[in-house]
Structure 1
């Protein structure tokens, strides 16, 4: 899900990545809006809010909108910096570190007292926006810009384009590409909504601790990815070991290479 990149990456890998992280983004979106009344998964609305407050000469509120945008940007920048630095030292940990940082940040916020969350709403909002910027950059990097999970505007645009193109592109390879893209974008939209609905129901009882659901999803995804990668490595080692055993030609119909 996280480790495959480039030509080795398939639609299945992208669907797994999209489903998990879009669900997480949906939960964060609801938690941020319900507890803080602030958008915490995208920055489009903050630009409009900045213009509105600046026109009213409410410069403090206007600059808060700038801070929210900067927090999302900082998360994306930090995620990419960490990915590039870690990739030069250990390829196995390249995507584990950003995910661990996101888990730690969301867990810390989830364990805060509700009174503290309200008193420091702007700081908490910036922390959530930082986490979502980090996630969006990570997903973009892993999927080579195929998957985006924190906002839906572009996804609905892509879905509209691809559904319209189905009426005009009839070649098998074109249909295959379009149906794959539609399936991926629909999965992101569906799981983002599912995360919002789940988070909305749970929030009435758990409040900000609803973020623990997002933390659990990220931990499961990281463990699944790590275990699956470990199993693949063990299989490869076993095959290499079997191929190098002295008696491997004993029951083979092929002759061993002449030395």
Structure 2
């Protein structure tokens, strides 16, 4: 449950959502014109490419989808999902994400489409990492499931049923942070191009440093399985 997690972890998720919004907007506005923070729309484009027998798009979009999956796999390999435990694994995952974003920036500067794959892998890593940490309550790189959960909660509230207001409030914060990051990313990309990626890179590096610093001063703590919430 959200209320069972330390507040600084929850706000960290909001900051990472801002970062993901910035990355995704830069990717969409760039020469590749494809999302990197989620897969739903890209799956539809992949299906359309198959229908039109567009081999180049099939291979490229397929690689993009696999890159997001590879990032999530990397998160699972580094962090694991058996139990939630403070430790340096999350810091390592964040440093790897920052490195992937730096690689994507360098490739984008070369007008290399592989930059899109590196950015997608970074987003897949972040999304799986935060979902693992928060017991799969919060996703930080897309808003579809989050918006559905918020709508269902509001519907239950209107019907007079009890809801978790802290959860709804935090979901709203994630929503606005992603939207805010997207807006900032769009503004910066229009002004400086792919240099806009330095904002999310700085955010992720700062989060990695602060997390490692915090985990060094906290005792290891497991969150019991019965306290988790799946979405």
> Is 2:106–2:115's contact at 8 Å kept on the other side of the alignment?
no
Q: Deviations over 1:50-103 (max 9, x none)?
A: 221111121221222211111111110011102249x9xx96311111101011
For residue 162 of structure 1, the aligned residue among 153, 163, 169 is: 153
Residues 18-167 of structure 1 aligned to structure 2 (within 5 Å): 18-35=13-30, 36-84=32-80, 92-112=87-107, 114=109, 116=110, 118=111, 120-121=112-113, 123-167=114-158
How large is the Cα RMSD of the aligned pairs?
2.5
Q: Which residue of structure 2 lines up, in the alignment, with residue 222 of structure 1?
A: 208
Alpha-carbon distance in 1 for matches of 2:198, 2:106: 8
- Give SS of 2:97's match: helix
Query: Please, what TM-score do these two structures have when normalized by structure 1?
Result: 0.76
Alpha-carbon distance in 2 for matches of 1:16, 1:30: 22
Greater CA radius of gyration, 1 or 2? 1
User: Is 1:206 matched up with 2:192?
Assistant: yes
Residues 240-255 of structure 1 aligned to structure 2 (within 5 Å): none
> Is 1:53–1:59's contact at 8 Å kept on the other side of the alignment?
yes
Q: Which runs of 5+ in 2 are unaligned?
A: 220-231
> Is 2:91–2:211's contact at 8 Å kept on the other side of the alignment?
no
Q: Deviations over 1:170-205 (max 9, x none)?
A: 5xxx34x2x112111111110001001111111123
Query: Please, what TM-score do these two structures have when normalized by structure 2?
Result: 0.84
Runs in 1 of length 4+ with deviation above 3 angstroms?
Answer: 5-8, 226-233
How many Å apart are 1:219 and its aligned residue? 2.1
How many Å apart are 1:17 and its aligned residue? 2.6
Q: Which runs of 5+ in 1 are unaligned?
A: 234-259
How many Å apart are 1:162 and its aligned residue? 0.5
- Give SS of 2:136's match: coil
Alpha-carbon distance in 2 for matches of 1:205, 1:167: 43
How many Å apart are 1:222 and its aligned residue? 2.4
Aligned positions, number = 216
- Give SS of 1:144's match: coil
Q: Deviations over 1:143-180 (max 9, x none)?
A: 1101101111111111110011112345xxx34x2x11
Alpha-carbon distance in 2 for matches of 1:160, 1:92: 34
Q: Deviations over 1:119-148 (max 9, x none)?
A: x12x11111111100001100111110110
> Is 1:18–1:187's contact at 8 Å kept on the other side of the alignment?
no
Alpha-carbon distance in 1 for matches of 2:139, 2:159: 26
